[in-house]
């Protein structure tokens, strides 16, 4: 349970060098303190995408090479699942560093196919821009992220908590929306998708009722490169696909306006 989770007292306390070593100098090492202007530019880099309840991380792996300069973070409450994602990122980083260095690692996909060609090319960014953290996203989100830090926040196939007495456990609620609005910048986007119609209606109802969010029209979503990955990149999305289930998508823009954590 939560007592084993550690939260930074504030976003400034967060040591991102563990997560994104290419972008943040290690804390407390003198050689990094005066490493020049490029270094201070790196330090100002911030996580911009958060995948809440990222599961096995399929969305993050798909988005990392598409936005190689954008730092993205998965938040996942299950220990073993978080570890799985962390291990996967570490392996991808090594593989892509080897590819970038011209060392061809053993490729485990059949020769000639699309996956083979993709695996032979180092992905832009080499997965240095993606990481995962074990956290209960329903608690202390403003301890990790500053006001207006995020440009995208994802809720993909969240746990439905069907029973009425369990609804308070749902990841979208009036109280939590105030936190999401706080960490999202104006113009930032909340992506929600689920195969559970009742949960979809619940999320829409709460987002509609919250004055700082505005629904994004389907025509605009059709032009958003992220949306197809929201539908298909995660393990849960693939499972729904195999079962031939319906997917309900609803995305909202964070409007300009004041908010408190
Ligand atoms: N988004 C992934 C996908 O589409 O495959 C995973 C979906 S899975 C149904 C929901 C995930 O949310 C689980 O991995 C669960 O452990 C995680 N989760 C549930 N509550 C959470 C919380 N409060 N904070 C962080 N993660 C949570």
Pocket-forming residues, ligand 1, beta carbon under 6 Å: 53-55, 75-78, 81, 136-138, 156-159, 234-237
Query: What is the predicted pLDDT for the residue at 221?
Result: 97
Question: What is the chain's mean pLDDT, rounded?
Answer: 89
Tell me the average pLDDT across 196-216.
97
The SS3 call for residue 223 is coil
Q: What distance in angstroms lies between residue 3's CA and the mean position of ligand 1's atoms? A: 19
Residue 76: pLDDT over 60: yes
Which residues does the annotation mark as catalytic? 159
Query: What is the predicted pLDDT for the residue at 24?
Result: 87
Query: What is the predicted pLDDT for the residue at 206?
Result: 97
Q: What distance in angstroms lies between residue 151's CA and the mean position of ligand 1's atoms? A: 20
Q: What is the C-alpha separation between 214 and 252, in angstroms, rounded?
A: 5
- Structure-model confidence comparison of residues 235 and 105, the more confident one: 235
Of 235, 116, 255, residue with least CA distance to 190: 255
Residue nearest to atom 17 of ligand 1 (CA): 53
Hey, CA dihedral for 72, 76, 81, 83, is it positive or negative?
positive
Contact status, residue 249 vs residue 230, Cβ threshold 8 Å: yes
Tell me what percent of the residues of the chain surpass a pLDDT of 90.
Answer: 70
Query: What is the predicted pLDDT for the residue at 37?
Result: 43
Q: What is the C-alpha separation between 74 and 46, in angstroms, rounded?
A: 14
- Structure-model confidence comparison of residues 240 and 117, the more confident one: 240
**DSSP collapsed to 3 states, 116-169:** HHHHHCCCCCCCCCEEEEECCCCCCHHHHCCCCCEEEEEEECCCCCCCHHHHHH
Confidence band for 28, pLDDT divided at 50, 70 and 90: low
Position of tokens 């025509």?
Answer: 219
- Structure-model confidence comparison of residues 114 and 167, the more confident one: 167
Position of tokens 């936005």?
Answer: 67
Tell me the average pLDDT across 99-112.
76
Tell me the average pLDDT across 78-94.
96
The strand pairing partners of 249, in sequence order, are: 193
Position of tokens 């823009």?
Answer: 253
Query: What is the predicted pLDDT for the residue at 84?
Result: 97
Residue 1: pLDDT over 70: no
Confidence band for 115, pLDDT divided at 50, 70 and 90: confident
Confidence band for 166, pLDDT divided at 50, 70 and 90: confident
Nearest atom (ligand 1) to Cα of 138: 23
The SS3 call for residue 88 is helix
Of 248, 254, 186, residue with least CA distance to 216: 254
Tell me the average pLDDT across 109-135.
84
Residue nearest to atom 10 of ligand 1 (CA): 158
Confidence band for 35, pLDDT divided at 50, 70 and 90: very low
- Picking from 23-27, 57-61, 176-180, which range would have the lowest pLDDT averaged per residue? 23-27
Q: Cα-flanking dihedrals φ and ψ of residue 253, to 5°?
A: -95, 140
Query: What is the predicted pLDDT for the residue at 179?
Result: 95
Range picked from 107-111, 123-127, 155-159 for highest mean pLDDT: 155-159
Q: What distance in angstroms lies between residue 193's CA and the mean position of ligand 1's atoms? A: 12
Q: What predicted TM-score, i.e. pTM, was given to this entire model?
A: 0.91
The per-residue DSSP string of 45-70 comes to --EEEEEET-TT-HHHHHHTTTSTTS
């Amino acid at each position: 349970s939560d007592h084993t989770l550690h939260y930074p007292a504030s976003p400034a306390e967060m040591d991102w060098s563990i997560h994104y070593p290419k972008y943040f100098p290690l804390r407390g090492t003198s050689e990094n303190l005066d490493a020049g202007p490029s270094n201070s530019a790196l330090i100002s880099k911030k996580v911009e995408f958060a995948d809440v309840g990222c599961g096995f991380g399929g969305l993050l792996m798909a988005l990392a090479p598409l936005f190689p300069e954008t730092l993205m973070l998965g938040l996942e409450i299950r220990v073993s699942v978080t570890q799985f994602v962390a291990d996967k990122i570490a392996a991808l980083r090594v593989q892509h560093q080897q590819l970038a260095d011209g060392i061809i690692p053993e490729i485990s996909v059949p020769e000639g196919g699309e996956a083979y060609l993709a695996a032979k090319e180092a992905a832009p960014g080499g997965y240095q821009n993606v990481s995962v953290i074990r956290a209960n996203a329903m608690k202390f989100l403003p301890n990790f992220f500053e006001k207006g830090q995020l440009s995208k926040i994802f809720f993909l196939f969240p746990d439905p908590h069907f029973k009425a007495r369990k609804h308070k456990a749902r990841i979208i609620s009036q109280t939590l929306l105030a936190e999401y609005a706080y960490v999202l910048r104006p113009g930032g986007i909340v992506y929600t998708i689920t195969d559970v119609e009742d949960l979809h209606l619940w999320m829409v109802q709460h987002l509609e009722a919250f004055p700082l969010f505005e629904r994004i029209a389907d025509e605009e979503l059709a032009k958003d490169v992220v949306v197809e990955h929201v539908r298909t990149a995660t393990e849960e999305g693939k499972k729904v696909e195999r079962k031939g289930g319906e997917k309900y998508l609803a995305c909202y823009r964070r409007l300009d306006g004041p908010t408190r954590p």
